[in-house]
A and B are shown apart, each in its own frame.
Chain A
């Protein structure tokens, strides 16, 4: 009888062991986003304009350089910050100043940011400036219907004309 009880106890242990594993390996279900919401992801990589203008070296300057270094055009390495603003339905949602990467600040600026928005139709306006001027040199706007549980991506490609709204 005692042996039977021990086997029963062992069976209960194994059932408990696999029950814990079986339950927590799939439950509770994780709800990442409420059902009436969608995601907007603003993300791009962009290399801003140089901080200063390029210039031509004088003959005297060139003469001082080693022969293999005598390139007439010289440009400052450092690039401007990239400033981005995003408005949704006329209200400012995001503003960021993106410094150039690299020790000498001559690399690209990158951004990735996600926003949770109610599903439905929204008006998006994005602005970007990549120079030293106070003016934004790129602006894009779009009316987009954000479906529940869907992702909309706002990308930026200067060569393609600026902001791209992909849903």
Chain B
């Protein structure tokens, strides 16, 4: 599915990579459509139902469509949220430094459901009646109320207009609380994706509007507490748990929902524990407080603080160890991660202790030295991206994240004549969120540190794919095309400027 979507949308617009952003976007659709509906909505036992009927029947192409859009956007939000949760779980993105985002996402599930189910009550039709009675029976499992809640729904007249005013207040208040929790949910993520790319957002919006026109949402008959709500057009996205109240029991449904919630809360700490590589170290001797690493860290693990070592710089980088993902994206941003430096020991301002920059330079040197053949390609690849098979004329250096690659290493690899081209493989759906994106911007000269202008761009290719069958095919195809492209270029000779060439032969 993911591969198919990458094929038709392209990796940059694959909706699967923006599930959280899509849910966020649909929340704003809900807010906008909800404003309009609320403008015409009267709270009350009879008025609520009647006003929504009027909205639907008397202005079908605006009020009716927006009411339907409100409904379908809410369903879409549940769908996107569920897929987002499942994807993060199956891709093992919920443990270690990610625990906070995972755990703060769990209350969002309850808040989304409380917001949606509360919306159903407002209509006060047969479906609302069923939900009200079911919810009351469910909550009455705990004898915390002096009088069973469900007694309010025994006979007509049990609930008043004031009760519906309270419900309307809750239907606004709970989504506001949801937004607060969304803010908390994204606190440890820098530049959280709060919306999908514009073409995807537009596509989803138009599709939902089309659905609203084709299949408008209509109320059931008005609530009648003397009748059993039956043959209900059920919204399974929100209400799937309600039939279980009668197939099992309210206690069993509490066990299911409560147990599932508890399991979600505990998941980040349940075995098997995920191994985390050693975290980044800050070397103040090589830090000028430029702030590149702070701007690029995907998890807000680095901050700039006043200088403490007496050097003439204003700031220094400070690490919050519990937030560090050991991804190395900050290393790729550090101006001191410069392989051309002729110092005793190459050390970066921020460096990974198990894969320091000097080791990366040594690995690159070794790989370049071993290159032979007519077309010699240096490949820098993310460990999570498809691998280009080592073959004659191909040198491969793997990185924890492609964002860890300082652009100067491309310059460095092309400095002599031993390499004809540099091929870079990053992940369209970066495991560390921004690595591939930052590298792309560094190569394009849009982000510091930039790839120097003297590097011939025709000898550098950046391939952005996902490690799925379709992505592997794309990576190998682009690699083959790049080799063929290099073959057609004039052969490089010793002493040429980085990446420039003299005619072959």
Number of interface residues, chain A, beta carbon within 8 A: 41
Of B150-158, B189-197, B420-428, the stretch lying at the interface with chain A is B150-158
Cβ of B110 < 8 Å from any Cβ of A?
no
**Residue pair B140, A29 in contact (C-beta under 8 Å):** no
Q: Which of A22-69 contact B (CB under 8 A)?
A: 22, 24-33, 35, 38-39, 41, 43, 45
Q: Pick from A9, A15, A29, A38: contact of B228, CB below 8 A.
A: A38
Chain A residues whose C-beta falls within 8 Å of the C-beta of B438 in the assembled complex: none
Cα separation A13 to B214 with both chains bound (whole Å): 17
Q: How far is the CB of A73 from chain B (nearest CB, A)?
A: 26
Q: Is A162 an interface residue (CB 8 A)?
A: no
Tell me, yes or no, whether B432 is within 8 Å of chain A by CB. Answer: no
Q: Is the CB of A9 within 8 A of B7?
A: yes
A151 is an interface residue with CB less than 8 A from chain B: yes
In the bound complex, CA of A10 to CA of B7 (Å): 10
**Binary A-proximity of B312-346 (CB < 8 A = 1, otherwise 0):** 00000000000000000000000000000000000
Contact A18 B210 (CB under 8 A): yes
| Contacts of A99-150 to chain B: CB distance below 8 A | 101, 107-108, 110, 112, 114, 149-150
Q: A9 touching B8 by the CB < 8 A rule?
A: yes
Q: Are B204 and A14 in contact (CB under 8 A)?
A: yes
What 0/1 readout, one digit per residue, does chain B (73-93) give for beta carbons within 8 Å of chain A? 001100100000000000000
* B232 to A, closest residue via Cβ: A30
In this complex, what residue of B is CB-closest to A148? Answer: B228
**A166 at the B interface (CB under 8 A):** yes
Beta-carbon contact of A32 and B148 below 8 Å: no
Is A151 a contact partner of B226 (Cβ separation < 8 A)? Answer: yes
Query: Across the interface, which residues of A come within 8 angstroms of B41, CB to CB?
Result: none
Residues of B near A107 (CB, < 8 A) are 146
Does B285 have its Cβ within 8 Å of any Cβ on chain A?
A: no
Q: How far is the CA of A155 from the CA of B158 in the complex (A)?
A: 14
Interface residue? A21 (CB, 8 A): yes
- Residue contact A27 to B8, C-beta cutoff 8 Å: no
With beta carbons under 8 angstroms apart, the residue of B8, B76, B150 that contacts A13 is B8
Stretch of B31-39, B233-241, B263-271 that contacts chain A:
B233-241
Q: Is the CB of A22 within 8 A of B147?
A: no
**Which residue of chain B has its CB nearest to the CB of A114?**
B137
Taking a contact as CB atoms under 8 Å apart, the answer to whether A25 and B75 are in contact is: yes
Q: Does A91 contact B (CB under 8 A)?
A: no
Closest Cβ–Cβ distance, residue B84 to chain A (whole Å)? 14
CB distance from B22 to the nearest CB of A (A): 10
CA distance A14 to B22 in the complex (A): 13
In the bound complex, residues from chain A placing their C-beta under 8 Å from that of B10 are 6
Is the CB–CB distance between A24 and B237 below 8 Å? yes
Q: Is the CB of A150 within 8 A of B228?
A: yes
Nearest A residue to B78, CB-CB: A21
Distance in Å: Cβ of A165 to nearest Cβ of chain B: 13
Inside 8 A of B308's CB, which chain A residues have their CB? Answer: none
Quick check: B228 and A33 within 8 Å, CB to CB? yes
Cβ contacts under 8 Å, B8 to chain A: 5-6, 9-10, 12-13
Chain A residue contacts of B217, Cβ below 8 A: 25-26
Nearest-neighbor residue (CB-CB) of B22 within chain A = A17
CB distance from B147 to the nearest CB of A (A): 6
Q: Are B211 and A26 in contact (CB under 8 A)?
A: no
Contacts of B355 in A (CB 8 A): none
Q: Is A160 an interface residue (CB 8 A)?
A: no
**A25 touching B235 in the complex, CB below 8 Å, given contacts A10-B8, A17-B207, A101-B143:** yes
A133 to chain B, nearest CB (A): 26
Asked whether B234 lies within 8 Å of A101 as measured between CB atoms, the reply is no
CA A26 to CA B212, docked complex, whole Å: 13
Is the Cβ of B207 less than 8 Å from the Cβ of A15? yes
For residue A110, which residues in chain B have a CB less than 8 angstroms away from its CB?
Answer: 147-148, 151
Cβ–Cβ < 8 Å partners of A108 in chain B: 146-147
Chain B residues with CB below 8 A from A84, complex form:
none
Q: Does A153 contact B (CB under 8 A)?
A: yes
Contact A26–B228 (Cβ < 8 Å): no
Q: What's the least CB distance linking A30 to chain B, in Å?
A: 4
A1 within 8 Å of B (CB atoms): no
Of B7, B154, B243, the contact of A43 (CB 8 Å cutoff): B154
Q: How far is the CB of A102 from chain B (nearest CB, A)?
A: 9
Taking a contact as CB atoms under 8 Å apart, the answer to whether B207 and A31 are in contact is no
Min C-beta distance of A121 to chain B, whole Å: 18
Between A and B, 29 residue pairs with Cβ closer than 8 Å are A6-B7, A9-B4, A9-B7, A10-B9, A21-B72, A21-B76, A21-B211, A22-B72, A22-B211, A24-B237, A25-B217, A26-B215, A26-B217, A26-B235, A27-B233, A29-B231, A32-B228, A32-B229, A32-B230, A32-B246, A38-B228, A43-B150, A101-B146, A107-B146, A110-B147, A110-B151, A112-B148, A149-B228, A149-B230
A: which residues have CB within 8 A of B?
A: 5-6, 9-10, 12-15, 17-18, 20-22, 24-33, 35, 38-39, 41, 43, 45, 101, 107-108, 110, 112, 114, 149-151, 153, 155, 166
Taking A26-B234, A101-B143 as known contacts, 7 extra A-B pairs with beta carbons closer than 8 A to each other, sorted by chain A number, are A9-B7, A20-B79, A22-B211, A24-B235, A24-B236, A25-B235, A31-B232
Q: Which residues of B contact A (CB under 8 A)?
A: 4-5, 7-10, 15, 71-72, 75-76, 79, 130, 137, 140, 143, 146-148, 150-151, 154-155, 203-204, 206-208, 210-211, 214-215, 217, 225-237, 239, 243, 246
